[in-house]
Each structure stands twice: as C-alpha cells, then as structure tokens.
Amino acid sequence: MTQQITIKSLWDSIKPGDRVFETAHISKHPEAVRKYLSHAITPGTKLSKAVWLRMHGEIKLKGWLPFTAEQVISAEHGMTWKASVKMKGLTISGFDRVIDGEGVMRWKLLGLFPIIKASGPDVSKSAGGRLAAETAWIPSVFCEESVSWKSPDSSHIEASLTVQGTASKLSLTIGQTGGLESFIMQRWGNPGKPEFRYEDFGGVVEEEGKFGGYTIPVRMRIGWYYGTERFDSEGEFFRVTVDDAIFK
C-alpha cells in the first residue's frame, strides 16, 4: 500500500481543516509562544491539515548540487518529498517518504538505475524526526492540544510533540516580531558514520514569505550538528528556497 502512494494521492487523501485560528485559542500559552503563532498564522485563517510545497535549492552529496522538488506534508498522515538533482549533466530523481510511521528512500540515476534504496526502523525513525522539524512549514500543527510548550525566555520556545510515532522536542528561536529565526532538535540519524544515534539537527531561517494566511520560512540552511562549529564545516547539507505553498 505504501509503495503506491504519490504526492498527489497523499494530498487528495487529506480532508481540509475546518477549525479557524483565533488568538483566544492560544491565550493559555506562554507569551513568546503566542507571539510566534500570531505571527505565523493570521487570525481567521483555517487551520490546515497539510501543505504542498514547491522548492529549489542545493543539496550536498560530496559537493553541492542543484535540485528542484515538490513536497506534501501532513503531520497526521506523513510526508513525501520528490526531487530531481543535477550531477555533472545527469539527473538523479526519487523520493524520501514517511507514511503511517514507515520511512522509505528510493533514488535512481536517469530514472533507471537504483542508487539508494532504504527502509526499516532506523530510516522510519529518522524520517519521523525530519517531519517534526518540517512542521515549521505548517505551523497549524503547533495549535494541536497534544503539543506542549515551554518558554525559557522571550526569544526561545520549546515544543514537545509526537509525529508519525516519533516523540520530538523542537527548540525555536524567534525574533522581536515573532518570526522564526532558527530551530534545533535531537534527530535520529547516521551522519558521517554507519551507526544510527541522536545528533543535533537544525537550521537557520534567512527569509520568510506569506502564503494564504501563513507566514513561513522560505529560505533556510539546514543540517546536522547545528549550533556547533561542525555545522558550517560538515553538517550543513540542505539549502532551500520555497517558491510556493498551498495549504489545505
């Protein structure tokens, strides 16, 4: 069943949200959390269940390579990221996906020759962590009652949530107006080594954009070891610009 799911079929399977965002709904949250959510979601906007993103950027596979991609994100059902990467005039295409807790990676050269084929518990757990980080692109997820918040100070907020069976804690840094500036979390993965373990994972927001009542990051740098010197030298692997976002 999972193998048959595409971006469109995932999108079509999701029913639109019917709740509307009002600041009164977050009145019990810490002040910094209210500032972030009120900046990210315009009052009166429907709380979406999913977002369809179109993006481009660079991904680091030994060297930096250009890519274009589309992605559907739903905290409830999962996500699919489908991309094409250019390498020395050749195209690598495929997808990363997690649906109902099952993570899968499939990538081919020229659409014919398999080069990455991965699944299993570690891949699923890592994909769940990635999806938790990408809730920054669908901030309505943070309005769910299952999300708990802490605010150490006026510039930092911490969200504890479970996405696709993976419990995660996201630490967000916000600016004076409530805009997201960076995030960091512990994510399951195997950067630089064959064994999986938890490592710092995060990114910096370089630009925001507004789509359908939502203000989200549209230019980011993301990778492992965020918050340390290793991020710039070896951890950063994803530079992305969001070109469009449709909320449902």
**CATH code (residue 34):** 2.50.20
Q: Is there a contact between 120 and 113 (Cβ–Cβ < 8 Å)?
A: no
In a domain, 247, yes or no: no
Q: How many domains does the chain have?
A: 1
The residues with which 41 forms a beta bridge, in sequence order, are 214
Q: Is residue 69 in a domain?
A: yes
Question: Does residue 15 fall inside a structural domain?
Answer: no
**What is the residue range of 38's domain?**
30-242
CB-based contacts of 139-144 (< 8 A; 24+ apart in sequence):
139/37, 139/40, 139/41, 139/214, 139/216, 140/17, 140/21, 140/41, 140/47, 140/48, 140/49, 140/214, 140/247, 141/75, 142/37, 142/40, 143/21, 143/25, 143/26, 143/37, 143/41, 143/47, 144/75
- Structural domain includes residue 38: yes
- 40 located within any domain: yes
Identify the CA nearest to 131 among candidates 86, 80, 190, 203: 80
Is 22 contained in some domain? no
Establish if 20 belongs to a structural domain: no
Q: Is residue 213 part of a domain?
A: yes
- Local confidence pLDDT in tens for the 248 residues of the chain: 344 678 999 999 999 988 999 999 999 999 999 999 999 999 999 999 999 999 999 999 889 999 999 999 998 899 999 999 999 889 999 999 999 999 999 999 887 778 889 999 999 999 999 999 999 999 999 999 999 999 999 999 999 999 888 889 999 999 999 999 999 999 999 999 999 999 999 999 999 999 999 999 999 999 999 999 999 999 999 999 999 999 99
pTM of the model: 0.93
